[in-house]
């Protein structure tokens, strides 16, 4: 048990029961010239998460903590893509169409892959998710059960969409989520701030909000005895 400074109060990290979950750090969302930018978003706003995430990922790997990655996307035949999602936004180019980095949000295409700085290593589960939440239509719940995980350190993009949906899904499954402010990002800074406030409000209605430095320090610190 190691305490991590967080809102609304310290998060009691149990590294052996915790996993790092990195949401959708994919080229199409983050890199200039990808799908995110094509939709008119300022992708540079997500780039600030990369350096702290690299440090956190190194610390988690060094500690032996389970690291899991997600990718939002669909099978090449789009059989897992709801029509409602395909046509949302009334764009001329949509999911499955040729985009700047291959077919948009299709598994196996360059833009769908995780950015090089945070690339998964052997043994780290990569969860392909067709929805915004990481639990819907994925193996994440089974993985969490198999590994005895009760806490998730949640990072990635975007704060108010895939991170928030996943945290809400996890919370309803009895998982405690610590969301890291410096390792999550949004195309809309005000959404990022409010999304994090929503998580920690009302005594931590959806979880906790901290910083990567707190987790890195906790992973390096000796364990504290559990409170009686």
Catalytic residues: 24, 129, 162
Contact call for residues 208 and 177 (beta carbons, < 8 A): yes
Distance CA 7, CA 208 (A): 6
Residue 223 CB, nearest approach to ligand TIU (Å): 34
Residues of span 60-79 touching ligand TIU by CB under 6 A: 72
Residue 103 Cβ vs ligand TIU, minimum distance, rounded to whole Å: 16
Answer yes or no whether residue 28 interacts with ligand TIU by CB under 6 A. no
**Closest distance to ligand TIU from the beta carbon of 177 (Å):** 16
Residue 158 within binding range of ligand TIU, rule CB under 6 A: yes
Rounded to an integer, what is the distance from CA 2 to the centroid of its chain? 22
Q: Which two tokens stand for residue 82?
A: 């709801």
* 161 scored as a contact of ligand TIU (CB under 6 A): yes
Q: What is the DSSP string of 46-67?
A: HHTTHHHHHHHHHHHHHHT-EE
Task: State in Å, rounded, how far the first CA of the chain is from the last one.
Answer: 12
By C-alpha distance, which of 81, 73, 82 is closest to 113? 73
* Nearer Cβ to ligand TIU (42/172): 42
Interacting residue with ligand TIU among 118, 162, 170, 219 (CB under 6 A)? 162
CB 118 within 8 A of CB 50: yes
Nearest CB to ligand TIU, comparing residues 24 and 176: 24
Place of tokens 């789009």: 78
184 is a contact residue toward ligand TIU (CB under 6 A): no
Contacts to ligand TIU by CB under 6 A: 24, 29, 72, 132, 157-158, 161-162
């Amino acid at each position: 048990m190691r305490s991590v400074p967080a809102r609304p109060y310290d998060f009691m990290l149990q590294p052996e029961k915790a996993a790092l979950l990195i949401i959708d750090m994919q080229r199409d969302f983050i890199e200039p010239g990808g799908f995110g930018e094509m939709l008119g978003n300022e992708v540079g706003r997500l780039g600030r998460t990369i350096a702290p995430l690299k440090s956190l990922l190194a610390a988690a790997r060094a500690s032996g903590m389970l690291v899991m990655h997600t990718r939002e996307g669909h099978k090449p035949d789009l059989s897992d893509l709801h029509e409602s999602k395909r046509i949302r936004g009334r764009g001329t180019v949509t999911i499955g169409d040729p985009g700047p980095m291959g077919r948009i949000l299709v598994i196996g295409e360059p833009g769908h892959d995780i950015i090089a700085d945070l690339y998964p290593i052997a043994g780290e589960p990569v969860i392909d998710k067709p929805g915004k939440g990481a639990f819907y239509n994925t193996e994440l719940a089974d993985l969490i059960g198999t590994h005895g995980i009760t806490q998730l350190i949640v990072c990635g993009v975007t704060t108010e969409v895939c991170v928030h949906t996943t945290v809400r899904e996890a919370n309803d499954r009895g998982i405690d989520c610590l969301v890291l402010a410096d390792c999550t990002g949004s195309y809309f800074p005000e959404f990022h701030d409010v999304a994090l406030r929503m998580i920690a409000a009302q005594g931590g209605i959806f979880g906790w909000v901290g910083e990567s430095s707190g987790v890195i320090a906790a992973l390096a610190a000796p364990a504290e005895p559990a409170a009686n």
